[in-house]
Amino acid sequence: MGDFVDRGHYSLETVSLLFVFKARYPDKITLLRGNHETRPVSNTYGFYGDNPAPLVISGAEHPLSIDECKAKYGNSNVWLQCCNVFDYLNVAALVDGKALCIHGGLSPDVRTIDQIRVLSRAQDPPNEGAYCDLLWSDPDDSVQSWALSPRGCGFLFGSLVTSQFTHLNSLELIARAHQLVEEGYQYKFNEKLVTVWSAPNYCYRCGNEAALLRLDGNGKRQVTVYGPAPENDSDTKMKERRQGKTAILPYFV
């Protein structure tokens, strides 16, 4: 569900493996676009590899010295080609007609799934509108309908909006990513929406769990929670960035 790149030492290897899986098993895997699979964001947060923007934690900057496309290949050609592929990633996926998968969230400009189907995706998403919102919006328990997002893109949306959208489109679930959740997954709005976060110990310092969500043919949901790979303990680059699980860290974009 997107965000395959940025803020890691192996974004290029990760997205390359996913592309290979898609080429080898085209009818078995669907890759959705996240807000980091865009030129402006991946150019800023490490995938391009030229002075990535620092993380801001409790008001203090923590620069990430991540060497990616430019550092690994000496030029920007690989990054440019990856961005060209990103333009053709799906914006959403429908599982058995009952579960809608998107990266971010809902949009006030989208009432039906058919409106997502007709979006022109062969471009970098604009700074506003339906395409932007699907990649940037977030659910919020304190909001009933819509509110401006502190991210500067997309919206906050609440239980009323979610209930109306799922009812109108005969959905049982909206599955999305986009937000760090400590337990790896989090249900909201009477389990009509779930956030699934699949990057354990995000940025090598957050100490969070990660999760995978499986939906079977009968609509049964099975969540698998996991932590960082054992190889992280022997990887020099990762060990340099690790931080204890006791650290209290706010979420950052």
Local confidence band at 237 (pLDDT 50, 70, 90 cut-offs): low
Of 45-49, 101-105, 164-168, 226-230, where does mean pLDDT reach its minimum? 45-49
- Residue type, position 244, single letter: G
CA distance 66 to 43: 12
Task: Write the pLDDT tens digit of every residue in 108-166.
Answer: 999 999 999 999 988 999 999 999 999 999 999 999 999 999 999 999 999 999 999 99
In the chain, % of residues over pLDDT 70: 85
Q: In this predicted structure, what is the pLDDT of residue 240?
A: 55
Local confidence band at 205 (pLDDT 50, 70, 90 cut-offs): confident
Tokens of 238: 């990762």
* The residue to which tokens 């022997």 are assigned: 234
- Residue type, position 220, single letter: K
pLDDT at 177 over 90: yes
Local confidence band at 239 (pLDDT 50, 70, 90 cut-offs): low
DSSP 128: S
Active site residues: 36
pLDDT at 24 over 90: yes
Q: In this predicted structure, what is the pLDDT of residue 204?
A: 84
DSSP 96: T
CA distance 109 to 14: 33
